[in-house]
Structure 1
């Protein structure tokens, strides 16, 4: 009899959970309740996965359309959602490398369907793949991303492609260089434009603690000087639990 009562109690508990799960399927507001019933987070999982992904160099084996991209897939999915919501006319990328991410931006923008241009800048194009060079909607420029010539080209493209701008900084990851890039963009970005400062996970945020001052510290230094320029898009940054750009998702005020 005791065994039968225990079995009945287990069936009742399972039935209750299934009813709640069925309700959750139709009501996304209850996802927190779902996690409480079926999963107990320690709070460290995102940071541990970030460390695993970075330290195992998985990012060096990540491609878009066969072209090396060196990104987090979580970030790339997040970025395409931002692009679709923002519908920019100009995408600015500092740090081209192989060109995979530049082609990714163009691929997403073509699906959005409005006139646009992708400007991708790097100090050297030695790594740039021929397949990326062939994309008709990407302008690759070999230059320091902090040069006055790049600022002037952005001004020209803003005139040719009026509308919102989405910019991502992923070139030299030293504090001074990233800070120079942010200052270069300061008079070029307008209210509502979006800026992502990548690789702010370096220098112990949470990886590569030996790196030295990098993008994260550049953001902090910029905000000490210009505290009212940006609003951090924290919900977007935290959406997938971890990012190569912690504290680096920002909307121009």
Structure 2
């Protein structure tokens, strides 16, 4: 164990150094802007379902779920269901490794398309998945999720639906408090604030109106959360810079 601790200490120093490397940050930003033009994040799957995430963020979610051992994961945004399958598969691995046996992931989406629902429900990981169709900030949806979260030992929250400032802020106010101490509320697509102005001409979000601006406003009045800078310094390539919010109190 001491050798492992030594290795982790060395990694922490190297990660901090990467976070301070301005040239590396600029090179990463340039690469991401070019890759995004080819819809890079759309080209990956998890256990047969499109996940629409960077591989780096997929690995980060795996690390968090393994470490936190959540009894419940709340996800807003379903799309093709790859993220739900990732979460469910990690909960399955946790269960056979001493984690909660009945852990569950709840996925919320305003429009769950029939072919996606059918594929998710037919997947081997479906028994750990519950889907709710409706706006993630609708009172009845929020109430249903809160009821499920009651008395859960550990809860992880991931927000990845409508990325406008107002919507993400409303999601944070609705769900972030469910996050247990030591766990995370992950706000995806904060990278929108860092991307070129013309990157999202066909979407309602943009610079100044996105997940990162919402997270910043939320953090001003919620000191129980802080940005896990080490996570983004380690990943470098991530859609969630300043979006890995760890609950510390």
TM range (shorter): 0.7 to 0.9
2:40 to 54, 58, 67: 58
SS at structure 1 position matched to 2:156: strand
In 2, are the aligned partners of 1:203 and 1:209 still within 8 Å (CA)?
A: no
Aligned pairs (5 A) from 1:100-249: 100-113=82-95, 114=100, 115-126=102-113, 128-134=116-122, 135-159=126-150, 162-205=152-195, 208=199, 211-212=206-207, 213-224=209-220, 226-249=221-244
Number of residue pairs aligned between Structure 1 and Structure 2: 221
* 169 and 27 in structure 1: CA distance in 2 versus 1, 3 angstrom threshold: closer
Greater CA radius of gyration, 1 or 2? Answer: 1
In 2, are the aligned partners of 1:94 and 1:169 still within 8 Å (CA)?
A: yes
Q: Distance in 2 between matches of 1:194 and 1:32?
A: 23
1:229 CA drift (Å): 3.0
* 32 and 194 in structure 1: CA distance in 2 versus 1, 3 angstrom threshold: closer
* 41 and 223 in structure 1: CA distance in 2 versus 1, 3 angstrom threshold: closer
* 187 and 32 in structure 1: CA distance in 2 versus 1, 3 angstrom threshold: closer
TM-score (norm 2): 0.80
Q: Distance in 2 between matches of 1:27 and 1:189?
A: 29
> Deviation per CA, 1:89-139, whole angstroms, max 9, x where unpaired?
000000001111101100011000122010000000116252212311100
TM-score (norm 1): 0.79
Q: Which runs of 5+ in 2 are unaligned?
A: 1-5
Instruction: Give 1:18's aligned residue.
Output: none
In 2, are the aligned partners of 1:94 and 1:170 still within 8 Å (CA)?
A: yes
* RMSD, matched Cα: 2.6
Q: Which runs of 5+ in 1 are unaligned?
A: 1-25
* 131 and 204 in structure 1: CA distance in 2 versus 1, 3 angstrom threshold: same
SS at structure 1 position matched to 2:116: coil
1:63 CA drift (Å): 1.2
